[in-house]
């Protein structure tokens, strides 16, 4: 098989400890047709010098400031030679043969984006929060993962050991055809952090391509490197960006039908944070939703093609918190 040429892009900012720990495994990848780019967001530590001295085959693109995940990756793509782009977080450990199953999946020309299995670095028997076995979404627009719903992580016992279509692929290890990425304009930089990959995958589906989970490739993710779970800033981005994603990808009528239900649920979430004494998170929810509604509604230009069977036709909140279901079949 003539497997595709893959460009692995790692965006980093002042993450020298991560590069020392995780880059060696990526550098040792056993795949003859790939290149590795470090996209450095104007780090002030010794990241660039360390990589130059220890990993001479890594190509370094340095930027004038910190453009974050979206902006750093978008700019690094300009110097990528691969027909497949693979955006990899700087806190991911891989096995030597991890790229083979990913490359094979792209031999199917209808496939535009792929995610490997994401496992916890500290306990690889369990799926990792950021993407697990691929992302889905519910009828109200709340994303979740096969193998992870809210904070519940499933043990990997082979239940997802089959390649399958997914609604969205995790940005922690996200592979996409370069031509499709370019056609879609890359990651939407207004998102800054969180859900930019879901937005992009939604647009991939609407363009008529598939997003797939590949079980034959697994990586181990540390997670929480950019924003940890206790950060009010993460809460802000989660709420604001979810609203933005829905505004961008749903028709006006479909979006309007969700507004009342979503505002009620977000208000309940705000009250929960208040009664828990986390006033900073309650304020983040208010700010996130408020800012989302200050953004003009963008009309859907691409055909609104949603993948059949990948939208859970219920509420993940109802299933998890009311019915106590930790796994969605």
- pLDDT tens digits for range 281-325: 999 999 999 999 887 666 555 666 666 678 999 999 999 999 999
- pLDDT tens digits for range 109-160: 999 999 999 999 999 999 999 999 999 999 999 999 999 999 999 999 999 9
Residues 3/103, Cβ–Cβ less than 8 Å: yes
In a domain, 311, yes or no: no
Question: In this structure, what CATH number is given to the domain that contains residue 52?
Answer: 3.90.550.10
- pLDDT tens digits for range 53-67: 999 999 999 999 999
Do both 20 and 146 map to the same domain? yes
SS (H, E, C) the chain: CCCCCEEEEEEECCCHHHHHHHHHHHHCCCCCCEEEEEEECCCCCCHHHHHHHHCCCCEEEECCCCCHHHHHHHHHHCCCCCCEEEEECCCEEECCCHHHHHHHHCCCCCEEEEEEEEEECCCCCEECCCCCCCEEEECCCCEEECCEECCEECECCCCCCCCEECCECCCCEEEEEHHHHHHCCCCCHHHCCCCHHHHHHHHHHHCCCEEEEEEEEEEEECCCCCCCCCCHHHHHHHHHHHHHHHHHHCCHHHHHHHHHHHHHHHHHHHHHHHHCCCHHHHHHHHHHHHHHHCCCCCCCCCCCCCCCCCEECCCHHHHHHHCCCCCCC
Selection from 311, 317, 313 nearest residue 165 by Cα: 311
Which of 188, 221, 254 represents a domain boundary (last residue)? Answer: 221
Phi and psi at residue 61, to the nearest 5°: -115, 120
Do both 254 and 283 map to the same domain? yes
Do both 129 and 267 map to the same domain? no
Contacts of 275 (CB under 8 A, 6+ apart): none
Please give the C-alpha separations between residue 141 and each of 71, 73, 156, 170, 299, in angstroms, as whole numbers. Answer: 25, 26, 26, 16, 17
Do both 104 and 15 map to the same domain? yes
Phi and psi at residue 75, to the nearest 5°: -75, -35
In a domain, 290, yes or no: yes
Do both 213 and 261 map to the same domain? no
* Structural domain range at position 275: 232-302
Do both 175 and 247 map to the same domain? no
- pLDDT tens digits for range 252-289: 888 899 999 999 999 999 999 999 999 999 999 999 99
Which of 221, 247, 277 represents a domain boundary (last residue)? Answer: 221
- pLDDT tens digits for range 225-259: 555 567 899 999 999 999 999 998 888 888 899 99
Residues in the chain: 329
Do both 202 and 268 map to the same domain? no
Which of 160, 192, 221 represents a domain boundary (last residue)? Answer: 221
- If one counts the domains in the chain, the total is 2
Sign for the CA dihedral angle at 102, 105, 106, 111 comes to negative
Residue 51 has pLDDT above 70, yes or no: yes
- pLDDT tens digits for range 68-116: 999 999 999 999 999 999 999 999 999 999 999 999 999 999 999 999 9
CA distance 194 to 184: 18
């Amino acid at each position: 098989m003539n497997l595709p040429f893959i460009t692995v892009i790692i965006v980093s900012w002042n993450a020298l400890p991560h590069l020392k720990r995780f880059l060696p495994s990526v550098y040792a990848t056993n795949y003859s047709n790939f290149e590795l780019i470090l996209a450095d967001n104007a780090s002030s530590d010794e990241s660039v010098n360390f990589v130059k001295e220890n990993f001479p085959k890594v190509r370094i693109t340095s930027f004038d400031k910190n453009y974050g995940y979206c902006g750093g990756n978008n700019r690094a793509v300009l110097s990528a030679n691969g027909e497949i782009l693979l955006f990899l977080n700087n806190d991911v450990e891989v096995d030597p043969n991890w790229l083979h199953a990913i490359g094979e999946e792209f031999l199917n020309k209808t496939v535009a984006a792929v995610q490997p299995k994401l496992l916890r670095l500290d306990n690889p028997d369990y799926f990792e929060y950021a993407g697990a076995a691929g992302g889905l979404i519910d009828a109200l627009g709340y994303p979740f993962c096969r193998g992870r719903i809210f904070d519940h992580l499933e043990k990997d016992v082979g239940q997802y050991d089959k390649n399958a279509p997914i609604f969205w692929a995790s940005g922690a290890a996200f592979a996409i055809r370069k031509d499709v990425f370019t056609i879609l304009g890359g990651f939407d930089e207004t998102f800054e952090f969180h859900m930019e990959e879901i937005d992009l995958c939604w647009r991939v589906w609407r363009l008529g391509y598939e997003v797939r989970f590949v079980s034959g490739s697994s990586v181990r993710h540390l997670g929480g490197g950019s924003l940890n779970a206790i950060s009010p800033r993460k809460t802000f981005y989660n709420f604001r960006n979810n609203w933005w994603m829905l505004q961008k990808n749903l028709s006006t009528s479909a979006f309007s039908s969700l507004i009342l239900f979503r505002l009620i649920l977000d208000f309940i979430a705000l009250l929960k944070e208040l009664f828990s004494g986390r006033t900073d998170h309650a304020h983040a929810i208010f700010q996130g939703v408020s800012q989302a509604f200050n953004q003009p509604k963008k009309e859907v230009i691409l055909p609104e093609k949603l993948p059949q069977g990948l939208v859970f036709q219920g509420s993940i909140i109802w299933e998890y918190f009311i019915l106590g279901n930790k796994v969605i079949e």
